[in-house]
Structure formats: C-alpha cells, structure tokens
Amino acid sequence: MPKPKIKAFVFDAYGTLFDVHSVIEKCNEMFPGKGKDISGIWRQKQLEYSFLRQLMGRYTTFFEITRDALRYACNEAGAELSNETERELLDSYLKLHHYEETEEVLMKLKSYQTAIFSNGSFDMLSPLVEQSPFASLLDEVLSVDEVKQFKPTPMSYQLVLERLGVRREEVLFMSSNTWDIAGASSFGFYTAWINRQGKGMDELGVKPDYEYGDLRGILNHVK
C-alpha cells in the first residue's frame, strides 16, 4: 500500500493515549481485592451505555455515563458505593496514567496537526489532558459533546474534518478500540489500530489500514 499523504494525526483518548485500567489501584484502595473486577465492568458498561444511549436517542455526557457505569460495576461486584467513594473514583478518571511512549511520539509529530477526538465530554477530557505532560503538543482536543453523537456514528467523525479543515484521506486516526477503528475506517479515514493486548479485530466488515503494538508504529508515516 502506498503511504497516504497525512496532514492530521488524530488520537482516541481512552485506551489509546490513557490507560483506563489505571483506576484499578484506586478501586483496590476503596474496595480491597475488587479493583480488577470493578475496573473491567466499569469500562464494559461505560461503552455499552454510550452505544445504547446513541441507539435510543437519549444522549447524555460521557461523565454521566461513566458515573452510571461505576454505580453498576460496584453493585455487580458487591461493593457498597458511598457518595464520597463515588466522587473519589470518578476523580481517578481525570488522572488516568498515560502510556509511556505518548509524549515521545507527539514530540515527533510537531510538523503535523495533532488532535484528540474522544467520546469523553470536556468535563472529563480537559482536566485529564491538562494533567498530562503532553498537553502543549496537541493542537486540538475534540469531543463528541459538540455534536451530541457518540462514536462510531458517521456524524461524529465529521467533526474532525470541520474543526481541522482536512479531507478524510488526509487523516490518520489511531485507536485501541476495535469498534472505533471500524467506525473511522468506514467513514473514510486512514486508520491505525493500536493493538496493545494482541487481540483479534472484530468482524465488522472493515479492517484497519495499519496495526501496531503501540503508538511508535505510527512514526512510519512521518516524513
């Protein structure tokens, strides 16, 4: 495949730049021995609720979805969630650990447009990005909250084109989430699946253009 002429490198946030399961430590602090279970259910329901709300036409912010998913996860794990504990755990989502190569990769993309495009609402994304060491290396932080359409709907990805002023074929979109890669590929972006866990791609009729074990792989597209 000939290399595309990429003008914008666009990153999903959760699971791609930031490790969503870094909340396990805080979950274990609140509920010893239950951190892994709570984190896994929390993330699963966070995604399910965003998809279901999109289908039902009942949009709400990703913060509200994350809170509701946490309540479900704790109930499922048999962990009694107080108001104070809920606030602390939700706060941990604003302080997720970033993957170690992220800053290095963004430093090498300075001559390109770089952006985050996430289902996260700004009340989650802004503090998360600001506490990271690479906030100044991003040109834009884009949220589906601007269009009230969760990824992977085509209308959500249209926001990237409008805000960055590029064509579909000038975007390389990175995500660790297979559903996000499928949506972005279907929309017409070039896609790079950041397959950190070495899993198989979902059978959705579309495949990523590239697959890498971490973000360093995308540097193959830098001139």
List active site positions.
Answer: 12
3-state secondary structure of 16: coil
Instruction: Report the C-alpha dihedral over residues 22, 48, 183, 57, rounded to 10 degrees.
Output: -130
Q: Look at residues 175, 213, 168 and name the one whose alpha carbon lies nearest to residue 190.
A: 168
Contact 191/184 with Cβ under 8 angstroms? yes
Continuous H helices in the chain: 24-30, 35-56, 62-76, 83-92, 102-107, 122-130, 154-164, 178-187
- Cα Rg, the chain, nearest whole Å: 17
